[in-house]
Amino acid sequence: MALDYRKCAQEIADNIGGGANVVSAAHCATRLRLVIADNGKVNKEALENVDGVKGMFESNGQLQLIIGTGTVNKVYDEFLSITGASAASKEDVKAAAAAKQPWYIRLLKPIGDVFVPILPAIVASGLMMGLVEALAKIPGLGFGETDWFAFLDMAANTAFAYLPVIVAVSAARVFGGNIFLGAVIGLMMIHSALTNGWNAANGYDVWYLFGHIKITDSYTLGQINQLGYQGHVIPVMLAVLFMSKIEGWLHKHVPEMIDLFVTPLTTVLVTALVTFTIIGPIFSGLETMVLAGAEKLVANPIGSCLMGALYPATVVMGLHHMYNVIEAGMLASKGLNTWMPIASAANFAQFGACLAVGLKCKNQKTKAVAIPSSLSAALGITEPAIFGVNMRFFKPFAAGMAGGAVGALVAAFMGIGASAYGVTGIPGYLTINNALLYTIVLAISGGLAFVITNVIWHEEEPKKAAPAPAPAVAAPTNAVIKCSAGEVIAPAVGTVIPREEIPDATFASGVLGDGVGINPTEGVIFAPYDGTISSVAESKHAIGITGPGDMELLIHVGVDTVAMNGDGFAPTVAEGDQVKKGQVIMTFDRAKIAKANHPDCVVVLLTNSDDYDGVVCG
Partner 1 sequence: MKEINFTVTDPLGIHARPAGILVKEAKKFTSKITVIKGDKSCDMRKLLALMGLAVKQNDSIVVQVEGADEDACAAAIEAFLKENF
- Residue from 507, 526, 529, 612 in contact with partner 1 (CB under 8 A): 507
Residue number, 77 or 560, with CB nearest to partner 1: 560
Q: Which stretch binds partner 1 (CB under 8 A): 156-164, 254-262, 419-427, 602-610?
A: 602-610
- Least Å distance between CB 577 and partner 1? 13
Q: Is 506 in the site for partner 1 (CB under 8 A)?
A: yes
- Least Å distance between CB 513 and partner 1? 7
Task: Show contacts with partner 1 in window 283-302 (CB under 8 A).
Answer: none
Residue number, 63 or 605, with CB nearest to partner 1: 605
Q: Is 518 in the site for partner 1 (CB under 8 A)?
A: no
How far lies 209's CA from each of 220, 224, 524, in Å?
Answer: 9, 8, 88
240 close to 186: Cβ distance less than 8 angstroms: yes
- Residue from 69, 195, 539, 583 in contact with partner 1 (CB under 8 A): 539
- Least Å distance between CB 584 and partner 1? 20
Radius of gyration of the chain from Cα atoms?
34
Instruction: Give the strand order in the sheet containing 486-489.
Output: 486-489, 479-483, 616-617
What is the distance between the alpha carbons of residues 89 and 71, in angstroms, rounded to a whole number? 19
Residue number, 468 or 563, with CB nearest to partner 1: 563
Task: Show contacts with partner 1 in window 540-569 (CB under 8 A).
Answer: 542, 544-546, 552, 554, 556, 562-563
460 close to 446: Cβ distance less than 8 angstroms: no
Residue 63, strand partner residues: 34, 58
The 3-state DSSP composition of the chain as helix, strand, coil percent (nearest 5) reads: 55, 15, 30
State the greatest distance between any 2 C-alpha atoms of the chain, in Å, as a whole number: 115
- Least Å distance between CB 541 and partner 1? 8
- Least Å distance between CB 549 and partner 1? 14
- Least Å distance between CB 464 and partner 1? 22
- Least Å distance between CB 618 and partner 1? 20
Q: Is 459 in the site for partner 1 (CB under 8 A)?
A: no
Q: Which stretch binds partner 1 (CB under 8 A): 90-98, 202-210, 389-397, 537-545?
A: 537-545
Q: Taking each helix axis from N to C terminus, what angle separates 179-189 and 163-175, rounded to the nearest 10 degrees?
A: 150
- Residue from 124, 537, 570, 596 in contact with partner 1 (CB under 8 A): 537
Q: Is 47 in the site for partner 1 (CB under 8 A)?
A: no
Neighbours of 81 (CB within 10 A): 11
- Residue from 69, 158, 433, 607 in contact with partner 1 (CB under 8 A): 607
Q: Is 266 in the site for partner 1 (CB under 8 A)?
A: no
Residue number, 158 or 539, with CB nearest to partner 1: 539
Q: Is 610 in the site for partner 1 (CB under 8 A)?
A: yes
DSSP code, position 218: S
Q: Which stretch binds partner 1 (CB under 8 A): 14-22, 280-288, 391-399, 600-608?
A: 600-608
Q: Three-state SS for 258?
A: helix
Given the residues 232, 321, 556, 598, the one annotated as active site: 556
Residue number, 300 or 565, with CB nearest to partner 1: 565
- Residue from 68, 126, 312, 513 in contact with partner 1 (CB under 8 A): 513
- Least Å distance between CB 466 and partner 1? 22
Task: Show contacts with partner 1 in window 476-505 (CB under 8 A).
Answer: 504
What is the distance between the alpha carbons of residues 3 and 233, in angstroms, rounded to a whole number? 37
What is the distance between the alpha carbons of residues 397 and 17, in angstroms, rounded to a whole number? 32
Q: How many residues does the chain have?
A: 618
48 close to 64: Cβ distance less than 8 angstroms: no
What is the distance between the alpha carbons of residues 408 and 430, in angstroms, rounded to a whole number? 19
Q: Which stretch binds partner 1 (CB under 8 A): 327-335, 396-404, 483-491, 533-541?
A: 533-541
Across 173-270, the runs of DSSP E, i.e. the strands, are 206-208, 223-225
Residue number, 490 or 536, with CB nearest to partner 1: 536
Q: Is 50 in the site for partner 1 (CB under 8 A)?
A: no
Q: Is 556 a catalytic residue?
A: yes
- Least Å distance between CB 553 and partner 1? 8
Residue number, 38 or 575, with CB nearest to partner 1: 575
Q: Classify burial at 269, counting beta carbons within 10 Å of its beta carbon; exposed 0-12, middle 13-18, buried 19 or more.
A: exposed
Number of residues in contact with partner 1 under rule CB under 8 A: 25
Q: Is 43 in the site for partner 1 (CB under 8 A)?
A: no
Q: Is 312 in the site for partner 1 (CB under 8 A)?
A: no
Q: Is 609 in the site for partner 1 (CB under 8 A)?
A: no
What is the distance between the alpha carbons of residues 35 and 22, in angstroms, rounded to a whole number? 6
How far lies 291's CA from each of 124, 190, 231, 296, 357, in Å?
Answer: 24, 21, 12, 8, 35
Residue number, 127 or 570, with CB nearest to partner 1: 570
Q: Is 534 in the site for partner 1 (CB under 8 A)?
A: yes
Residue number, 156 or 553, with CB nearest to partner 1: 553
- Least Å distance between CB 545 and partner 1? 8
What is the distance between the alpha carbons of residues 191 and 229, in angstroms, rounded to a whole number? 9
Q: Is 28 a catalytic residue?
A: yes
**Phi-psi group of 231: left, alpha or beta (phi > 0 → left; psi -120 to 50 → alpha; rest → beta):** left
Neighbours of 179 (CB within 10 A): 14
- Least Å distance between CB 611 and partner 1? 10
Cβ-count burial 274-302 (b if 16+ within 10 Å, e if not):
bbbbebbbebbeebeeebeebbebbeebe
At residue 215, φ and ψ (nearest 5 deg) are: -90, -50
Residue number, 96 or 502, with CB nearest to partner 1: 502
Q: Three-state SS for 186?
A: helix
Given the residues 28, 305, 354, 483, the one annotated as active site: 28
- Residue from 288, 334, 575, 578 in contact with partner 1 (CB under 8 A): 575
Residue number, 116 or 605, with CB nearest to partner 1: 605
Torsion from C-alpha of 47, 50, 54, 56, nearest 10 degrees: -10
What is the distance between the alpha carbons of residues 343 and 376, in angstroms, rounded to a whole number? 15
**Active site amino acids:** 28, 556
In the complex, the residues that contact partner 1 under the rule CB under 8 A are 504, 506-507, 511-513, 534-535, 537-539, 542, 544-546, 552, 554, 556, 562-563, 575, 605, 607-608, 610
